[in-house]
Structure 1
Amino acid sequence: MNTIDETTVGGLREALRGSVITPQDPGYDAARSIYNAMIDRRPAAFAPCVDVADVRAVISFARDTGTELAVRAGGHSGPGLCLVDDGLVLDLSPMRWVRVDPETDTAQVGGGSLLSDLDHATHAFGRAVPAGIVSTTGVGGLTLGGGHGHLTRRYGLTVDSLLSADVVLADGSYVTASPESHPDLFWALRGGGGNFGVVTSFTFRLHPASAVGVAVTVWPVDRTPEVLRWYREFLPAAPDELSGFFALLVVPPGPPFPEPLHGQKMCGVVWCYTGDLSDERLTEVFAVVNEPAPPAFHFTTPMPYPALQTMFDQLLPEGLQWYWRGDCFETIPDAAIDVHHKYGENIPTGLSTMHLYPVDGAAHQAGADDAAWAHRDAVWSGIIAGIDPDPANAEAIRQWCVDYWTDLHPHSMGGSYVNFIGPGESQERVRATYRGHYDRLAAVKRAYDPDNLFHANQNIPPAPDRPAHLP
């Protein structure tokens, strides 16, 4: 790949409405700062794009000059795939906008938008899109990976609500992908990551979600075996209106937790209920938390859905050290529970954690081949995350995560939610994540990006020969 010099940067500046940021500019260090502070990369230039014309110009520049290209939307990429050393970063962050159409119950969302933008705009109409649990997450990266969150059991994956996407392709052309237009590309975008083009806007179907019932329940970490054995049976049999992700954690020093619990290792469930929010009904729904063992703490309240989405924002701000890995699970066997108990007892830092997100319920209503997301039979999507503010602890959190994942992986389905694949994992992990969809994705890649311009991602190289007819 070629490097960028001042002459070529000058040509790029002239082609854009937005600015170009290089290492000589005052805003360079801020531009290369992303959510995961463990990632320290130095791109040659950033191109914040204010519109589709800018996106097309940046793609054409990278293609014509042979410059390494990365695409940044929200900047939450755990492995830092939105940055590339010595190359060019196409930055969508200026394209943060949401337009809600209450007549059609849809929202069009700019490619640089965050979940906070989407939640704020749709909440005004009593609506939401099932997406994520941290409001600073980018809509683009989450959606292209498949997307799951608090509302998945009720309304499906994020991609199940995607109606269309406006995309700039590697050749600079601009298309709308939908079930009627470029259906092969639309299929691939729904879980295939950033392999196929730059999505400048998404159009989503909206769902009723104004206030939700929220509960947080924690038990001492030595109760992990009893709680997980109960949870694995209870939640899949529960109505789709109830969701709850299981976590291993260190209790943070703040509300709603009482001070005596601060700093203690716990297992717990963060609940979301979208049914009747009367006090009587919430009490009835969450009475079950006493079944596995008496909780050390339980808190229940109705709250606006965007408030739930921001619950972890202050606890997990940008600039922490992160190392994560994930897998999908159909079951939680006793041997896996033993692994969770072992590593829950040995959480290395106050922010390190493990989550099991339910991806059943409404997410199982779609067909196995309806989208690139290849785990319609999964019941949980798990992530192990070593997190700490101190770079001196980077190796400790990385090793805990790797060891935990290594011991747990034999009990998984072999692949992961693609956004949870960690730094340095092999190409075989990507193939395992897409299972029987991988070859079809490679064929779509060949049709839309035959030279693999978009490869700074969990990459799917183009198939070696373009088929006469894509599936």
Structure 2
Amino acid sequence: MADLKIFETDLKGRLSEKARIVRSDGKVPRWDESCAPNPTVTVFPQCDNDVAETVKFCRQQGVKCFPQSGGHGWRVRNNHEIDVVICLREMNNVDVDEESRRITLGGGTLVKELIEAATAKKLEVATGICNSVGVLGSMLCGGIGRFMGKYGLSIDNLLSVNFVDATGKLHQNVNQDTDEDLWWAIRGAGSSFGIVTQATIQAYPESNGGLSWTGALIFGDSSKLEEVVEAINNLEMDENMSVHFLFACVPPTLAPAIMVSPWYCGPEHEAEKAWKSVLDLGPTIKETFMAPANRLNDGNDPFGEKGGRKPGVGLGIDTLDPHAYRHIWDLYVQFLSENPDAGRSVLVAERYPKAKALSVDHESTVYATRSSKYEVICVPWYTDEKLDIRAETFAQTIRNIWIQKCCEHGKTRSYAAFAGMHEPLESLFVEPERIDRLMAIKNKWDPENYWGSLMDVE
């Protein structure tokens, strides 16, 4: 266990003036409390060297540390072993080079902060869809989001990183030319190799004056479920589109409902034409509008709220099977009725155009699930830990239905950011050769398995 007094007396002098060290009562909450660390000490570094010195000190003291930016990491493996959290949130500077359209951001930057900085310069970036999520936490897993159709994955737009390894050594400007293997592995499994303290990414001129069409289509009557599923499956997705398909309890009644959240980067008349097949089904509620780029993710803010227990699972699937989704809907309604504390539970299917992402050489990064048509997640959400077993059983039941009815036979793929606690490497990185290369790099950079994250050293 970390000794706060030793950290305050011995580590503090090695850090920059504004760096802070606090007790466990100053820890930063996480999105999912079911596997959150309970650190004795939380350190708030202000610069790359602060991070490096903290890792070195933790190693000298024989304690485990863990980096946190937004705190939304899907699952924290080995959470009971973590004594020290290195909270990067105060390392959130965002510098925009308008001429090169390159943006350099600190490791604690949130999606909202990056988008605000980019839109202020009339630029747009490939990033996630939740404002409160850490940019790098999402990006290092691949980084899916609305602008995938135009710019590919977030990692496809990553230019360089600063990186602290398991010994506490700082490596600056890591890129394709400095270390080809590490660069390959960071892009898709970065959290398994160290702490990325800074990144430089490519940005692009804003589209349609920074405006896009979005909103919510709510079907309060589940009788149209199969028609909605078929319509989403049959959408002709161009690069300006994306869709989120949800089961959730929505206000004001908080009854289970079917929701479609459409998006179109273009004028409203073109958007309504592109989404005609879904709009024609007659949603109970239609709330659509033209959103400025810096407000585009606001509708997802409730989902990003921290706290509660959320032992979710995710998967990459090939289709939304209508019969399977009827079964899933029935199980979802039953789970809510039997567990009133779980009323915020949600199931989400996200679909993005993949042509741009698939145009990138499959072997250029460790990321291996570019071809999944949908990324799906099941999130039981509750507060009473006595529900853990029931919630996990429910989530695994839904996952098994997806595998059996919505995936190609024998193909189980999972996006790392949505992966469950013990997701096998075969689901995350698919090909044996890719996994072998990844493990060889892991053994080089973290032979003692100091960073557990997605994998353990064999």
Q: Distance in 1 between matches of 2:184 and 2:142?
A: 11
Pairwise CA distance, 1:290: 3.7
Q: Distance in 2 between matches of 1:340 and 1:361?
A: 29
Instruction: Check conservation: 2:213, 2:289, Cα contact below 8 A.
Output: yes
Structure 2 partner of 1:222: 223
Confirm or deny that 1:87 pairs with 2:70.
no
Q: Distance in 1 between matches of 2:185 and 2:308?
A: 32
* Structure 1 pair 108–288 and aligned structure 2 pair: CA distance change class (3 A): same
Pairwise CA distance, 1:384: 0.6
Instruction: Check conservation: 1:213, 1:274, Cα contact below 8 A.
Output: yes
Q: Distance in 2 between matches of 1:131 and 1:81?
A: 25
Return the letter of the residue paired with 1:120: E
Q: Distance in 2 between matches of 1:50 and 1:8?
A: 16
Spell out the pairing of 1:122-137 with structure 2 (5 A cutoff). 122-137=118-133
TM-score, scaled to structure 1:
0.86
* Structure 1 pair 8–251 and aligned structure 2 pair: CA distance change class (3 A): closer
Runs of 5+ consecutive residues of structure 2 not aligned to the other structure: 337-341
Q: Distance in 1 between matches of 2:92 and 2:317?
A: 34
* Structure 1 pair 133–55 and aligned structure 2 pair: CA distance change class (3 A): same
Spell out the pairing of 1:11-410 with structure 2 (5 A cutoff). 11-17=10-16, 18-22=19-23, 28-39=24-35, 41-81=37-77, 84-85=80-81, 87-171=83-167, 172-207=169-204, 208-209=206-207, 210-219=210-219, 220-234=221-235, 237-253=236-252, 262-275=253-266, 277=267, 279-291=268-280, 293-314=281-302, 316-334=304-322, 336-346=324-334, 348=336, 349-359=342-352, 360-388=354-382, 396-410=390-404
1:114-145 CA distances to partner (integer Å, 9 max, x unpaired)?
Answer: 11110110011222222222100011210111
Return the letter of the residue paired with 1:327: L
What secondary structure does 2:402 align onto? helix
1:149-178 CA distances to partner (integer Å, 9 max, x unpaired)?
Answer: 222233221111111111122231423221
Q: Distance in 2 between matches of 1:77 and 1:191?
A: 14
What secondary structure does 1:12 align onto? helix
Structure 2 partner of 1:444: 441
Pairwise CA distance, 1:392: 6.3
Q: Distance in 1 between matches of 2:456 and 2:211?
A: 40
- Higher mean C-alpha deviation, range 185-194 or range 429-438: 429-438
Q: Distance in 2 between matches of 1:86 and 1:113?
A: 23
* Structure 1 pair 30–271 and aligned structure 2 pair: CA distance change class (3 A): farther
Return the letter of the residue paired with 1:229: E
- Higher mean C-alpha deviation, range 173-182 or range 161-170: 173-182
Structure 1 partner of 2:339: none
Return the letter of the residue paired with 1:405: R
1:258-293 CA distances to partner (integer Å, 9 max, x unpaired)?
Answer: xxxx32322222111112x1x4333323322245x3
Pairwise CA distance, 1:206: 0.9
TM-score, scaled to structure 2:
0.88
Structure 1 partner of 2:425: 430
1:167-217 CA distances to partner (integer Å, 9 max, x unpaired)?
Answer: 122231423221222122111111114011211111111132421111322
* Structure 1 pair 106–90 and aligned structure 2 pair: CA distance change class (3 A): same
Q: Distance in 2 between matches of 1:367 and 1:347?
A: 42
- Higher mean C-alpha deviation, range 147-156 or range 343-352: 343-352
Q: Distance in 1 between matches of 2:319 and 2:269?
A: 32
Aligned length: 439
Instruction: Check conservation: 1:128, 1:206, Cα contact below 8 A.
Output: yes
Q: Percent identity?
A: 22
- Higher mean C-alpha deviation, range 107-116 or range 382-391: 382-391
* Structure 1 pair 132–5 and aligned structure 2 pair: CA distance change class (3 A): closer
